Amino acid sequence: MPSSHHYQLNEIIELIIETNPGKLLDIGIGFGKYGFLSREYLELWEPGAVYGAHKRQIDGIEVFEPYLTPLHRLIYDHIFTGDAREILPVITERYDLILMIDVFEHFTWKDGMKVLEECRRCGRNILISVPKIMSVQKEVYGNPFETHRFNWKRKDFSGIPDKFFLNNAKSTICYIGEDSRRIGHILKKRNRRKSLIHFLELTGLKKPVKWVFSH
C-alpha cells in the first residue's frame, strides 16, 4: 500500500520533531503522508514561520512514479524516481534524518542490509517502522514493488549500533544514528513522567506536578 496504519502516527511524528532535521529524506513516499506532516510540524509550528516558505529540505524516493501527484511536488523539494537500492549509492547529500516507514518489509534481508548501509553513509539518523505481523501482500495498484518480502523483527537489527526501539502495538519502530542516545533519553524521561501522573490519578494523590518532578 502507498500508505501506512495510523496507530504509529504519534510516535513517528514525535521522533521527527525531536530530531528536528534541517534535511530529511523520505524513502518510499507513497501517498506522501510523512513528507506532508514533516513539512507541517517542522515549519508551521516554528516561531516566526512564514506560511508557504520552505526552510527545510525534504526530499523523497519513490520507485512507482504513478503514485506521484502535484501535491507531492509542492511538499517535497526533490523526488528521486526509481529503486532506492540504485539511487542511494549515488546520493551525495548528508541528511539529518532518513525515513523508511512501512517500506523495509518490501526488501529481502540481504537487500535491506545493503539499503541500511547506504542510509548510514548518507544519513546521520534513520527511522524505520515495520509491521509486527506481516500480511501476505503481492502487487497493489499495479505496483509490483508492493510485495512483502521479509518479516523484520528486533533481532534482525541486533548487529546495528546506536539504536533504540519504541514500543507500539502494531509496529516495530527502530531509531538508529547519532542522535539516538539523546532522543532515547528524552523519551524515557517523558514516559516516566506520564507513568507517574497516571499513578497519581489512579491513587487520588493531590501532590502538585512541580513537587513530583523536582530534583
Question: Where exactly are the structural domains of the chain?
Answer: 6-178, 181-215
CATH fold of the domain at 6-178: Rossmann fold (3.40.50)
pLDDT value of residue 207? 54
- Indicate whether 66 pLDDT > 70: yes
Q: Which one has a higher pLDDT value, 144 or 128?
A: 128
Question: Using 50, 70 and 90 to split pLDDT, how confident is the model at 155?
Answer: very high
C-alpha cell at 29: 513516499
- Indicate whether 211 pLDDT > 50: no
The shares of helix, strand and coil residues in the chain, as percent rounded to the nearest 5, are: 45, 20, 35
Q: Give the mean pLDDT of the chain.
A: 87
pTM of the model: 0.86
What value does the mean pLDDT take over residues 183-204? Answer: 76
Which residues lie closer than 8 Å to 38 by C-beta, 6 or more apart?
16, 24, 26, 56, 58, 99
| Backbone phi, psi, residue 81, to 5° | -105, 125
